Amino acid sequence: MQHRDDADLIRRATRALFTGAPNALLACDVFVAKATARSWRQGHRRAPVPVLKKLLLLVRLRCVECNELLRDLTIEIARREGEPPWKRRGLGFMEIRERDGPGSTPRDGRNRLGRPKRIRTD
């Protein structure tokens, strides 16, 4: 019954780390054949301890990455909720900036000619 517990741990870790193709990505990450990684996940073989340690390291790294992403998203949401709703940010091409160097008069950077016409060649 011990093999099933190992397989369950490996299955849960690979599901969290490698969502697209867990067998192939696990095999690629620990440098083994895909069939070997699949046998670890199905419980036919036991994974060696270095593989388990590598999975532990990857899970820890993923948790750190998720925590940083969660923090950054909450900061961005709080920042955006603090902005007044009537104030819109202009798009990049609508910025009025100093195009000719520092100290020059600011000029509008918008393209007033519109989108270029498509030339048909029939």
Residue 93 has pLDDT above 60, yes or no: no
Please indicate, yes or no, if residue 96 is contained in any of the structural domains: no
Please indicate, yes or no, if residue 37 is contained in any of the structural domains: yes
User: Which of 9-18, 52-61, 98-107 has the least mean pLDDT?
Assistant: 98-107
Please indicate, yes or no, if residue 11 is contained in any of the structural domains: yes
**Distance of alpha carbon 63 from the chain centroid:** 13
Mean pLDDT score, 24-41: 91
pLDDT band at 60 (very low <50, low <70, confident <90, very high): confident
pLDDT at 35: 94
Contacts of 74 (CB under 8 A, 6+ apart): none
Prediction pTM value: 0.55
Residue 96 has pLDDT above 80, yes or no: no
Residue 54 is part of which domain span? 2-82
Distance CA 122, CA 117 (A): 15
Distance CA 66, CA 79 (A): 20
Q: Please tell me which residue, 1 or 42, carries the higher pLDDT value.
A: 42
> What is the identity of the amino acid at 107?
R
Mean pLDDT score, 58-83: 78
Structural domain total, the chain: 1
- Helix H or strand E encompassing 97: strand 96-97
